[in-house]
Amino acid sequence: MSKPKVLIYEPIHQKGLDYLSEYADIIWASGYDEDTISLEAVEAEGIIIRANGAVTAKIMDSAPYLKVIGRHGVGVDNIDVEAATKRGIYVVNTPGVNTEAVAEHAVGMMLALSKKIVESDRAMRNGNWNFRYESYGIEMQGSNLGIVGMGKIGYRVADICHAAFNMNIFYCDELANQKGETELSARKAVLSELLSISDYVSLHLPARRSTFEMINSGSIGLMKGTAFLINTSRGTVIDNNALYNALKNSDIAGAALDVFEKEPLPDNSPLLSLANLILTPHNAAHTEQAMIGMAMVVKDIVSVIKGEMPKYPVNSL
């Protein structure tokens, strides 16, 4: 008897593949465009997507046996959840498994910006030992941290910074975070106030119409000239042209980005020319532990295919 088929967009951890292959035959997508996926999903009962591509209504309609779509990670902005729900298709994800990885990456970016670690490395490789006399870092101790989006990852960033550096925590979110206010002495603020008082601004927002280019020339203009901006959430929340101009003109001290509106970041992007900007290739969640956790979305894929309820459904059927 043949096994059900599961289409996977990008490689996942071997532990996930080993589990899945016991129950299903794996089909590897040969491209991320809608037409290619539509052809290759014809026999699929499950789909697993990571950061690239999307699962659209057209793709779902091309896959008559499709029962479940799994997001390797948390954000489901590249899955048409409404279309899936209408068609009786489960959408599942892996909440919480990448929280520590992304939070540590964000804090690492803050440290790298503060201590000029990347610039110091470049100087050393260029034979410039005198860089030690030319530029100085700053200390994070007791400074103000603004968290925009106080979900699990935003909270963990605040938790680390409060415990390690006694940073004062301010946050902007639709909902009050009582735990943060009680345990971290965090104070809720509107975005304009948070930007104006923060020494570090860390973004933890989903990709939505309401968050599109939330950080633009106007909002960046509210920030201190000594402040740093960190984004490990979604690239669409920042107006890249506005950020480029602000960094080029030293309107803010620096920034660090792990996510971009277009991925991969184009080779001709002006962002690549900025010395006060740290760039990483959307790999904040890429720790061994998190990659295993995200790959285990296969458990819910298998459960749904077998007619069982998933553990982490995004939608209700």
| Known catalytic residue at 132 | no
CA gap 291, 241 in Å, rounded: 32
Between the CA of residue 299 and those of 243, 293, 304, what are the distances in Å? 41, 11, 9
Single out the catalytic residue among 82, 234, 261, 308: 234
- Residue 299 in tokens: 């458990």
Single out the catalytic residue among 45, 263, 286, 288: 263
Single out the catalytic residue among 50, 72, 162, 282: 282
| Known catalytic residue at 263 | yes
| Known catalytic residue at 234 | yes
Catalytic residues: 234, 263, 282
